[in-house]
């Protein structure tokens, strides 16, 4: 592998940094809104699943204890 000098390395980094395409403010806001919506939906879904299985476990435990 060829060695690069520090100045050549800095030049390469600057060249690559110029290729970066940053999202617009609107794109950032839309992405943030989608993340909030999806995490909320997943939170509600897993809460429902947890509640459902918790009720099943409680029912099975009540059957096992003879109540």
* Tens-digit pLDDT profile for residues 43-61: 999 999 999 999 999 999 9
Cβ neighbours of residue 4 closer than 8 Å, sequence gap 6 or more = 12
Structural domain count of the chain: 1
Residue 41 lies in a domain: yes
At residue 66 the predicted structure's pLDDT band, cuts being 50, 70 and 90, is: confident
Q: What is the pLDDT of residue 67?
A: 65
Residue 46 lies in a domain: yes
Angle at alpha carbon of residue 16, lines to 14 and 19, rounded to 5°: 115
Residue 1 lies in a domain: no
Residue 30 lies in a domain: yes
Q: Does the pTM of the predicted model rise above 0.75?
A: no
Q: What is the pLDDT of residue 1?
A: 65
In which domain, by residue range, is 41 found?
24-67
């Amino acid at each position: 592998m060829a060695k690069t000098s520090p100045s050549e390395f800095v030049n390469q980094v600057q060249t690559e940094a110029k290729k970066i395409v940053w999202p617009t403010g609107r794109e950032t806001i839309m992405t943030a809104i989608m993340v909030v919506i999806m995490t909320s939906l997943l939170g509600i879904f897993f809460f429902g699943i947890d509640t459902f299985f918790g009720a099943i476990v409680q029912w099975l435990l009540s059957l096992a204890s003879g109540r």
